[in-house]
Amino acid sequence: MNRDRLYFLFLNIGHFMDHLFTLIFATVAALTLYREWGVAYAELLAYATPGFFAFGAFALPAGWLADKWSRDGMMCVFFIGIGLASIATGFADTPLQIGAGLFVIGMFAAIYHPVGLAIVTTKWRNTGMRIATNGVWGNLGVAAAALITGALIDHTGWRMAFILPGIFSIAMGFAYMALRWEGIREERSVAKRGGDTAPSPASPQYRKALIQVSAIVFLTTAVSSVIFQSTTFALPKIFEERLTRLAAEMARWAGGAGLGGSADIATMIGSMAFFVFTVASMAQLAVGVSLDRYGPRRVFMTVAAIQIVFFSFMPGLSDGLALLVAVGFMLGAFGQIPINDYMIGKTASGPYRARIYGVRYVVSFSVLAAALPLIGFVYHNWGFDTLFRILAGAALVILFAVALLPKKLPSPEDEDISAAPSGKPTPSST
């Protein structure tokens, strides 16, 4: 494997680890911690909320520091810092201690999206497919959180679900540093000389189109974050309530086949969540190809319609039907992820791209944090059926907002071409 492919692989592993760390607690809380500590599931969610606020609030300073100092250097900080924080969280003995650990995990987790996505969209062509591939790795991290944590709960205890991934992440951080040391030194040298040149002033037409697209991006980011958080965080608990009979049958079958026993129900629930997340993550590959071919407006409307249909079907279902419909709404929830990142990558100026991604993820992860009390409140008062109906309404809001997107996105390259003197080539046209 050449260095360029290895570089992209490390960035993908980073996205995998980022989402895995932020969702370990979701499975721990749903399957074991509420019994071990005698704290209700809805109350435990409150201790995860500060971590998701940190996940959002620190995205903007992470993007700013990456643009000013070094994007590759910040990726090293991400791998090593989040690994150390996760190991420390594994030693928590009280809800307050685990809440503090999750907050520090969120601080370091905030680094990945503004920095890693800025690298992906700046360094390589075929932006839609690259973002989609990177997004699949992130979704596999979501899926692996449920699978790995469920297995470790059954066999070694919940603490190792934090400690072992932490050790792995630290190792990846030093490996990334060894691969990119020269790149880090070059970036720091550029930053000391003043960095990239500032872009030329934009025309009124470009600014107007950019404001329109940005407003839609930030609105749909906020609403889609509610959907993503509600589905990914609550799915293990949803499956525990609605798929327990199916999980017990699978555990008995596995025991008869010599693969496990009836005590492995947590593993089976984690496995079913992993199955749903993994299948749904493949939607991003189709979305990536479609973005490069058809543009974001048509693709986004299709994804929103899929979510409306399957969220509307979910109330009242259990076992096999619930599993199939969960695959459907997760296809929509995961499929929407790369679309806003694609639009930012196409419309944002390169020197400020990490900071703009930072703003996008401040919005996204602040809403992720706010969604946790919503999940707890709705679940405590009305159950998950009402949550599904709320999410169907949220997808409808996205559908109406995306209908207002222009058919062609404004881009800095178009602005450069239109501003160039006739007959003279520009960097974007040569």
Domain that holds residue 74: 3-190+204-409
**How many domains is the chain partitioned into structurally?**
1
Predicted confidence at residue 420, as pLDDT, reads: 47
- Evaluated on CA atoms 48, 51, 57, 59, the torsion sign reads negative
Q: Looking at this protein, which amino acid is placed at residue 280?
A: A
Q: Return the minimum-mean-pLDDT range out of 185-189, 204-208, 392-396.
A: 185-189
Question: Is residue 366 in some structural domain?
Answer: yes
CA distance 267 to 110: 29
Query: Mean pLDDT throughout 9-37?
Result: 89
Q: Which range is most confident: 3-12, 42-51, 193-202, 259-268?
A: 3-12
CA distance 206 to 409: 10
- pLDDT, one tens digit per residue, over 355-366 is 777 788 788 777
46: tokens are 């409150």
- pLDDT, one tens digit per residue, over 134-147 is 888 887 887 788 77
Place of tokens 């930072």: 358
Question: Is residue 426 in some structural domain?
Answer: no
Question: Is residue 68 in some structural domain?
Answer: yes
In sequence order, which residues have a C-beta less than 8 Å from that of residue 259 and are 6 or more positions away? Answer: none
CA distance 139 to 162: 18
The residue among 233, 243, 293 whose CA lies nearest residue 265 is 243
Instruction: Give the side-chain half-sphere CA count within 13 A for 220.
Output: 31
Q: Grade residue 284 by pLDDT with cuts at 50, 70 and 90.
A: confident
Whichever domain contains 89, its CATH number is 1.20.1250.20
Per the prediction, the chain carries an average pLDDT of 82
CA distance 69 to 355: 12
268: tokens are 């089976």
Q: Looking at this protein, which amino acid is placed at residue 333?
A: A
360: tokens are 């996008």
Q: Grade residue 398 by pLDDT with cuts at 50, 70 and 90.
A: very high
pTM of the full predicted structure? 0.69
CA distances, 59 to each of 170, 225, 261, 359 (Å): 21, 15, 43, 7
CA distance 283 to 334: 7
Identify whether the C-beta of residue 180 lies closer than 8 Å to the C-beta of residue 42: no
The angle subtended at Cα 374 by Cα 369 and Cα 375, nearest 5°, is 95
Instruction: Give the side-chain half-sphere CA count within 13 A for 194.
Output: 2
Instruction: Give the side-chain half-sphere CA count within 13 A for 163.
Output: 10
CA distance 122 to 263: 48
- pLDDT, one tens digit per residue, over 57-112 is 888 888 888 878 888 999 999 999 999 999 999 999 998 999 999 999 999 999 99
Q: Looking at this protein, which amino acid is placed at residue 377?
A: F
What is the distance, to the nearest Å, from the Cα of residue 188 to the centroid of all Cα atoms in its chain? 28
- Evaluated on CA atoms 222, 241, 43, 90, the torsion sign reads negative
Identify whether the C-beta of residue 125 lies closer than 8 Å to the C-beta of residue 332: no
Question: Is residue 429 in some structural domain?
Answer: no
Residue ranges of alpha helices (H) inside 110-126 are: 112-123
Q: Grade residue 391 by pLDDT with cuts at 50, 70 and 90.
A: very high
Extract long-range pairs of 10-13: CB within 8 Å, 24+ residues apart.
10/75, 10/172, 10/175, 10/176, 10/179, 10/180, 11/75, 11/116, 11/119, 11/120, 11/134, 12/133, 12/134, 12/137, 13/137, 13/172
Question: Is residue 236 in some structural domain?
Answer: yes
Question: Is residue 427 in some structural domain?
Answer: no
- Evaluated on CA atoms 55, 159, 96, 273, the torsion sign reads positive
Question: Is residue 13 in some structural domain?
Answer: yes
Identify whether the C-beta of residue 114 lies closer than 8 Å to the C-beta of residue 358: yes
Question: Is residue 419 in some structural domain?
Answer: no
Identify whether the C-beta of residue 247 lies closer than 8 Å to the C-beta of residue 31: no
pLDDT at 349 exceeding the cut of 70: no
Predicted confidence at residue 262, as pLDDT, reads: 45
Q: Which range is most confident: 122-131, 308-317, 347-356?
A: 308-317
If one compares 325 and 370, the residue with the highest pLDDT of the two is 325
pLDDT at 201 exceeding the cut of 70: no
DSSP state at residue 124: -
At residue 274, the 3 state secondary structure works out as helix
Q: Looking at this protein, which amino acid is placed at residue 153?
A: I
Query: Mean pLDDT throughout 363-379?
Result: 80
DSSP state at residue 252: H
